[in-house]
Amino acid sequence: MMQTALTMTQMIERAEKFFPKKQVVSRTASGIHKFTYKQITERMRRLASSLEKLGISKGERIGTLAWNHHRHLEAYFAIPCMGAVLHTINIRLSPQHISFIINHAEDQILLVDSDIVPLLEKCASELKTVKAYIIMTDEKELPKTTLSPVYHYENLLSEADPTFQYPNDIDENDPAGMCYTSATTGNPKGVVYSHRGILLHSMALGLADSAALSEKDIAMPVVPMFHANAWGMPFAAVWFGTSLVLPGPYFTPKLIAELIEQEQVTITAGVPTIWLGLLKELDEGSYDMSSLRGVLCGGSAAPKGLIKSYEQRHNIPFIHAYGMTETSPLVVISNLKSYQVGLDEEERLEIRAKQGILVPGLDIKVVGQNGEVQWDGKEMGELCIKGPWIASEYYHDERTKDAFRDGWLHTGDVVTIDEEGFVKIVDRTKDLIKSGGEWISSVDLENALMAHEAVFEAAVVAVPHEQWQERPIGCVVLKEAYKGKTSKEELLDFLKPQFAKWWIPNDIVFLDDIPKTSVGKFLKMSLRDQVQKDLLRKR
């Protein structure tokens, strides 16, 4: 067979040649803009040409601090295809972490949205490698800024070569992208994506048994493009000629619902928090969601009630999946098997609420206290993954040795796997509650609590216990209408029939909100500290 490289250039070129008429709808600060792939792919060539003129050479990192819009999409392809590395930076991190990341990656140029300029200005004095800032603005003039030197994205493009030729000496294992993932302690950890990894992951997104992304789709990644490449959706979409809708900055559930309706979105992707918000909007408003063939949900486990509400109340298929920054991210996805389709509604929901089965191309194993666990849906173990779109290390980081061992990524996620191979996340290894030598899943308890009509959000954390080592405590945010009207006893009674006696939390505390990470996950460590202090104070 030919030794042609699996590089991203072919992905652009397919869109350019076969799908020039297809559309990218981009929402920016100034409103909705529409482009064809003919325009977008020409702008990609212009951007690559501009970067070359600015002196960027092979393997150098270019950072982006940007929302989901067409210019960010252009950077997604122009940077790797001109031989450099697309470094997407999570703008929800602290200025300290952002400075760390930019210095650690040695970014040469930063592409930044105008509204993010003030954040970046706070970091600028710390930055050691950045030679230029390119501001991605709709305005004719650059905003006033202390950043220097600054360039105007559109001015650069207007002076650039629309026929720029991408180099053909890129190896499929060359770095194409990178993204830092926040760590529980210490600085964020960098993950490097190769051309090969991105191409194969894109292929996986197109499989009929996976997300089945297709030219016929109108895809809207709501998950930020600064987070795990918006789950790879922009890459795959361009390759397949899929129309894209990019929802831009500061969107609301209302705006998401309107975009889906107006642009006839067929598939969208985001974290449970987004879908909780949209659900409320759909329940209260009146929208036509009939174009949607699927809502892809990952990032953290979606409560069963959420899946049920989407499917039964709004007739929107809800596709549960699992992955992480280190895994590009798609690893498992919850499509029913052919012979499960005939099961009754509750049984099907039970399966769909799991994260799903392995996508073709990867390998997984689940390692418990005594080696690989039984596939019985009960025994818990840590999920380990390998495959061509799984990171092999953290970039220049000694924490590599903790997570990457014996050829496997040890995810730190505790799961069960059932007879049919469906993986269910039950906890993070560090959030598991170890009570009397047994494991209690905080996630199972949280999902059960969140199924109660009064509960808006719930987290369960461990507190130290003399006799049992650790015991669970429920932390609950009640819905507005239920505040002051729902007791902890009522919630505990609600849990009792659902779990073994020793799983029931020792206490419930009511909170106004639950602290979260920049990507919307519960910050359990700080929650645990807070709960422990509160309990001590009450003694």
Tell me: does residue 240 bind a copy of itself (CB under 8 A): yes
Does the active-site annotation cover 420? no
Q: Which two tokens stand for residue 63?
A: 């950072």
Smallest distance, Å, CB 435 to a copy of itself?
32
Residues touching a copy of itself: how many (CB under 8 A)?
57
* Sign of the four-CA dihedral 361, 367, 371, 376: negative
Q: Which is nearer to a copy of itself, 99 or 229 (CB)?
A: 229
Instruction: Identify the bridge partners of residue 458 per DSSP, sorted by sequence position.
Output: 476
Smallest distance, Å, CB 362 to a copy of itself?
8
Alpha carbon distance 197, 193 (integer Å): 6
- Whose tokens are 């039964």? That residue is 312
Q: Which is nearer to a copy of itself, 294 or 474 (CB)?
A: 294
Alpha carbon distance 152, 18 (integer Å): 31
Smallest distance, Å, CB 474 to a copy of itself?
35
Alpha carbon distance 439, 448 (integer Å): 17
Alpha carbon distance 449, 304 (integer Å): 11
Q: Which stretch binds a copy of itself (CB under 8 A): 60-68, 78-86, 331-339, 460-468?
A: 331-339
C-alpha 42, offset from chain centre: 28
Question: Catalytic residue among 129, 181, 400, 429, which?
Answer: 181
Smallest distance, Å, CB 166 to a copy of itself?
13
Alpha carbon distance 421, 427 (integer Å): 18
Q: In this structure, how many other beta carbons lie within 10 angstroms of the beta carbon of residue 31?
A: 9
Tell me: does residue 207 bind a copy of itself (CB under 8 A): yes
Q: Which of 283, 363, 402, 490 binds a copy of itself (CB under 8 A)?
A: 363
Q: Which of 6, 179, 223, 321 binds a copy of itself (CB under 8 A)?
A: 6
Residues 242/220, Cβ–Cβ less than 8 Å: no
Q: Which of 106, 121, 138, 215 binds a copy of itself (CB under 8 A)?
A: 215
Amino acid found at 424:
K
Measured between alpha carbons, how far is residue 139 from residues 132, 242, 280, 378, 435 in Å?
A: 19, 29, 35, 57, 59
Q: Which two tokens stand for residue 297?
A: 């949900």
- Whose tokens are 């922009």? That residue is 234
Q: Which is nearer to a copy of itself, 78 or 218 (CB)?
A: 218
Smallest distance, Å, CB 178 to a copy of itself?
11
Q: Which stretch binds a copy of itself (CB under 8 A): 40-48, 237-245, 255-263, 511-519?
A: 237-245
Backbone angles phi, psi at 132, to 5 degrees: -165, 150
Alpha carbon distance 214, 56 (integer Å): 34
Interface of this chain with a copy of itself, residues 390 to 429, rule: CB under 8 A: 390-392, 407, 409, 420-421
Q: Which is nearer to a copy of itself, 71 or 201 (CB)?
A: 201
Please give the full DSSP string across 134-182, using - where no structure is assigned. EEE-SSSSPPP-S-SSEEEHHHHHHTS-TT-PPPS---TTSEEEEEEE-
Smallest distance, Å, CB 269 to a copy of itself?
16
Q: Which two tokens stand for residue 271?
A: 């974290």
Tell me: does residue 163 bind a copy of itself (CB under 8 A): no
Tell me: does residue 522 bind a copy of itself (CB under 8 A): no
Does the active-site annotation cover 181? yes
Tell me: does residue 203 bind a copy of itself (CB under 8 A): yes
Q: Which stretch binds a copy of itself (CB under 8 A): 13-21, 67-75, 366-374, 496-504?
A: 13-21
Smallest distance, Å, CB 8 to a copy of itself?
12
Q: Which two tokens stand for residue 366?
A: 């689940």
Question: Catalytic residue among 439, 479, 516, 517, which?
Answer: 439
Please give the residue ranges that form the binding site for a copy of itself (CB under 8 A): 1-4, 6, 10-11, 13-14, 17-19, 21, 173, 192-194, 196-197, 200, 202-204, 206-209, 212-216, 239-241, 243, 328, 335, 337-339, 357-358, 360-361, 363, 386-392, 407, 409, 420-421
